[in-house]
Amino acid sequence: MSDWLTPGLAHLWLPYTQMQTAPAPLPVVASHGVRLRLADGRELIDGISSWWTACHGYNHPHIRTAVEAQLAQLPHVMFAGLVHEPAARLATRLAALLPGDLERVFFTESGSVSVEVALKMALQYWRNRGQAEKKRIVYFRHGYHGDTFATMALCDPEEGMHTLFAGSMPDQIMAELPDTPELAAAFDRILATHAERIAAVIVEPLVQGAGGMHMHDPATLRHIAEACRRHEVLLIADEIMTGFGRTGHLFACEEAKVVPDIVCLSKALTGGTLPLAATVARHHVFDAFLSADPAAALMHGPTYMANPLACATAHASLDLFEREPRLHQVAAIEAQLRAELEPCRAIPGVAALRVKGAIGAVELSGAIDLDALRRRFPELGVWIRPFGRIVYLMPPFVIGSDDLARLTAAVRQVLAERATTLK
């Protein structure tokens, strides 16, 4: 290990990390099922699915076989002027799975970029229709949509990662989630007042992820969709985290019976094996780009767009949703999370407990030593990485009840230990 770890750390720049003070990262050498094997031989049960991607666990043989086959045939080719079968079939398949007429798929490589493309689509949609003044975006407190500049402008301004860039980003409109009658009325007033300038509303349906794992019910999402329709504003659903079963439906929008104008997908799209994202638009959005004028086209094209290897991996992941009982597994995880995390409510220093699908989040109060929490969980044989005030679990859907019980027990133990240090 020393032949690569120590020299490598002298050159690596890690994400979301103060490199001078943060604990040393754990060296991983292999993965299988729901476990990560470290260089020293220890195994950790992964409680967060590698940032919410590894829904089928690691090294699933069906996905591995698909990658090997595609690698031997066509690893990559540019997607301008050329097209290939894995992307064409995947676009067709996604269109069939998504609700309503979400049928035009633009592939990218990351969730942040898929949101950037959605914003570009929304602004140009109105420009192509002769309403170029509609160029503001409404987003919600506690929202998170990515780390690129346009997406940072849509994150909660009090959320710590992006406050340094305040004033450097486009000025958008933040609203409160309309989950009470008063907040619903306030949201409606925002749209009524600014509709002539608003291109779109963007929302993480049912669960706001990195902004704090805040959850809302389907009725709130329906209210947002209905208000957008009344005021002629596009609705963008950021399903990067919620998509592909995490909330209990294949897509969170389905539970609310909402069809957004544009949806963003990534993370579990390939089962956590290769980077791929998609921005999918309804036919009326796509139709606004059809013109004899070349300037009306969508001018965007990532180099690795629609990478054949990633598309083949996504096909294999979707196969597993068809062949294996993933949504039933999510329902079982939800029931176990509710039962086994419930005792956390009585632990001093716990402010709230939230569970939805295969997501369990414990919100903390008081002083929080994130580095100490992050060091403690691996000592108990689990990989759980709290952020902000949130200790959360988002395990692979294939996790067994015994392994899930080890995760929830670790959460209860670490929070109980923390409680003894609080004044």
Query: What is the pLDDT, as a whole number, of residue 227?
Result: 98
Active site includes 304?
A: no
- CB-neighbour burial class of residue 176 (10 A; exposed 0-12, middle 13-18, buried 19+): middle
Query: What is the pLDDT, as a whole number, of residue 310?
Result: 98
Pick the catalytic residue from 58, 139, 144, 392: 144
Active site includes 423?
A: no
Name the pLDDT band for 22 (thresholds 50, 70, 90). Answer: confident
Q: Which amino acid is at 279?
A: T
Pick the catalytic residue from 267, 356, 392, 403: 267
CA-based nearest residue to 273, from 242, 318, 305: 318
Active site includes 267?
A: yes
Dist CA 341 CA 356 (whole Å): 12
Q: What is the pTM of this model?
A: 0.96
- CB-neighbour burial class of residue 100 (10 A; exposed 0-12, middle 13-18, buried 19+): middle
For 259-307, the three-class secondary structure string (H helix, E strand, C coil) is: CCCEEEECHHHHCCCCCCEEEEEEHHHHHCCCCCCHHHCCCCCCCCCCC
Helix (H) or strand (E) holding 38: strand 35-38
- pLDDT tens, residue by residue, 75-133: 999 999 999 999 999 999 999 999 999 999 999 999 999 999 999 999 999 999 999 99
Q: Is the pLDDT of residue 2 over 80?
A: no
Active site includes 144?
A: yes
Dist CA 204 CA 191 (whole Å): 18
- pLDDT tens, residue by residue, 226-279: 999 999 999 999 999 999 999 999 999 999 999 999 999 999 999 999 999 999
323-344: average pLDDT: 98
DSSP secondary structure string for all residues of 222-268: HHHHHHHHHTT-EEEEE-TTTTTTTTSSSSHHHHHT---SEEEE-GG
Name the pLDDT band for 350 (thresholds 50, 70, 90). Answer: very high
Query: 269 near 314, Cβ under 8 Å?
Result: yes
CB atoms within 10 A of CB 78: 11
Dist CA 390 CA 378 (whole Å): 17
- What is the residue whose two structure tokens read 């994400």? 15
Pick the catalytic residue from 46, 238, 261, 403: 238
Both tokens assigned to 103: 């049928």
- Which residues have a Cβ under 8 Å from the Cβ of 315 and sit 6 or more positions away? 66, 86, 89, 90, 93
Q: Which amino acid is at 264?
A: C
Q: Can you list the domains of the chain with their CATH numbers?
A: 5-56+325-419 (3.90.1150.10), 62-323 (3.40.640.10)
